[in-house]
Structure 1
Amino acid sequence: MVLPIHDINPLRRRPVVTWLLIAVNIAVFVLFEPIVTSVAGFTTATPQSVCEQQRFFDHWGAVPAEMLENRPSPEAPNGRSAGVDPQGRVLCELESPPSFTKSPVVSVLTSMFLHGSWLHLIGNMLFLGVFGNNVEDRMGRFLYLIFYLVCGYTAAYGFALFEGHSSTTLIGASGAVAGVLGAYLVIFPRARVIGLVTFLFFLPFWLPAWLVLGFWFVLQYIYFTGMGVAEGGSVAYGAHVVGFIFGALAVLPFVRELRAAGPARRHAPDHRWVRRTPWS
């Protein structure tokens, strides 16, 4: 696994939308979600907090069975604990009908801004921050925002087609971010990315974008198809695969225009013109 931390791909405008998306994701996680893990990944959960989190996710997250039927479930957790079973799993009380109203279509949008843990949030925002800014730079802010949301919807509904009978809540920006990664790979395949290689004790290496993102996609596909064993069995690898493929295919017909897009060169503070990056 390679953790990207920076790319050599200068910007020609401020990535306002990317910054805004990161800020909203962090704000939602910190201010609204019931958090059951610490920043270091250690659990701080009690049975009550776990049930409160389940109720929150069931309310605002996307459920594949609800999405395909376009009808919310007739029952949902009420936020109260019913104890712990012999295997140590927390049991939560259910209420029927739920005390909240829910639209499955809208829940796909809200689910894009929810995360199950600090690690989940930081991972998604890291990839979005490294790669999203350049895609925004080429698409323009409004088109990039629409593209991001469409990738999220496509990834979620694509996952629902594979897991149509699942009542497991789908949360996270991963599907939308995967679409951005697919677009970046098509537009900037030879951009240089500095990444920490986990199986080499997190040593940093400069690597081409096609290798970093290509390896990431292959890994997601292997886990999705069950050919490999992944940590975290609840990760929606299918959404990652669908989002990535959609993002790549969506920009492929416009790749020449996107590579040439962007505002006029700005005059740099040191009186030198900001040069274009030689990735093309």
Structure 2
Amino acid sequence: MVIPVHDVNPVRRTPWVTYALIAANVLVFLTMPGAGGALGGSELARLCHLQAFMDQYAAVPAELVHHRLPRLVPTGEVGVGAHGAGCVVGPPDYDKSPALSVFTAMFLHGGWLHLLGNMLFLLIFGNNVEDRMGHVRYFLFYVVCGYAAGYGFALLNADSTDPLIGASGAIAGVLGAYLVLFPKARVWVLVPFLVFLPLRLPAWLVLGFWFVLQALDSSGHAASGTGTVAYAAHVVGFLAGMLLAWPLKPGTPPPPEPPGLLFGRRARPHYGW
């Protein structure tokens, strides 16, 4: 897996929406119970509180497909039963909209690595997509891709009751749009090969390789939840982003491409005889 660190593709205007999305994701994570270290108490109490929070605000595939809430959900409290201490369950005391939960789930993350990885991709590739689409259209595009990814995953896992969280479905749409709009843009990446080797590669290779990995993983390992990766949501979001960005491709100016560069190094000239 390659790690992108920077793209050679300047923007004409400040990507305020991309910055606002990153700030909102970080702020929500820091205020989540337990996830950002914002909740005290025992480890079990933090877990029970976090489970209750996720059930209320995360997207649950079974709820999206059948459009109904379960009869029993975690209440966030700790109880002691015949098998020891555990999280108490009871009837939900909230009125949850499954459709709205897809939106709120886009701002929830299961840990620092999950959050920072998503924000890195959004920061690198989101600014140019926003620059091409404009602020308002880009935000609507981002939300639509997130919904496509969430519902697409739910349809493939209709009986799953595990919470689906993270911005990766919407960000996958951003990656798909970038591939369509700027396939020849150069992207600096770190490739793990004994050490992290810096290379400058074309966007079509970086993002195409990322998509192939997601597609391969989704074919046999599609899963949801805070401890596993919803690869199928990434695939659906990526394809939705490509489809929505395609009408903008004819009027998109090509990114600057320094001449004579091959994989980040200046290629030697070839002379004819």
TM-score when scaled to structure 2? 0.85
Deviations 1:70-129 (A, max 9, x none): 22222211112457999xxx942211x212221001100000000000000000000000
The one-letter code matched in structure 2 to 1:7 is: D
Larger radius of gyration: 2
Aligned twin of 1:136: 130
**Alpha-carbon RMSD:** 2.5
Q: How does 1:166-205 map to 2 (within 5 A)?
A: 166-205=160-199
Matched, 1:243 2:222: no
Residue correspondence of structure 1 range 1-280 to structure 2 within 5 A: 1-35=1-35, 46-82=43-79, 91-95=86-90, 97-226=91-220, 234-257=228-251, 259-260=252-253, 277-278=256-257
Identity %: 53
Deviation at 1:260, TM superposition (A): 4.1
Shift of 1:253: 2.8
- Which amino acid in structure 1 is aligned with residue 15 of structure 2? P
Asked if the contact 2:63/2:98 (under 8 Å) is kept, the reply is yes
Q: Does structure 2 conserve the Cα–Cα contact (< 8 Å) formed by 1:47 and 1:83?
A: no
Secondary structure of the residue aligned to 2:250 is helix
Gaps of 5+ in 2: 259-273
**Segment of structure 1 superposing worse, 65-74 or 103-112:** 65-74
- Are the structure 2 counterparts of residues 99 and 5 from structure 1 closer, same or farther at C-alpha, using a change threshold of 3 Å? same
SS in 2 for 1:256: coil
Deviations, residues 226-271 of structure 1 (Å, cap 9, x unaligned): 289xxx96211110000001101221133112x149xxxxxxxxxx
Which runs of at least 4 in structure 1 moved beyond 6 Å after TM superposition? 83-86
Aligned equivalents of 1:107, 1:181: Cα separation in 2: 23
* Contact 1:193 1:207 (8 Å CA) reproduced: yes
Q: Distance in 2 between matches of 1:127 and 1:222?
A: 20
Residue 20 of structure 1 aligns with an amino acid whose one-letter code is A
Structure-2 separation of matches of 1:50 and 1:25: 21
Question: Would the aligned equivalents of 1:36 and 1:45 in 2 still touch at CA under 8 Å?
Answer: no
User: Aligned AA for 2:116?
Assistant: I
Listed as ranges, the gaps of 5+ residues in structure 1 are 39-43, 262-275
Q: For residues 26 and 162 of structure 1, what CA distance do their matches in structure 2 show?
A: 29
Task: State the aligned residue count.
Answer: 252
Structure 2 counterpart SS, 1:226: helix
Q: Shift of residue 68 of structure 1?
A: 0.9
1:34 CA drift (Å): 2.4
Shift, 1:20, TM fit: 0.3
Task: Write the distance in 1 (CA, Å) between the matches of 2:126 and 2:218.
Answer: 24
Q: Provide the residue aligned with 2:267 in structure 1.
A: none
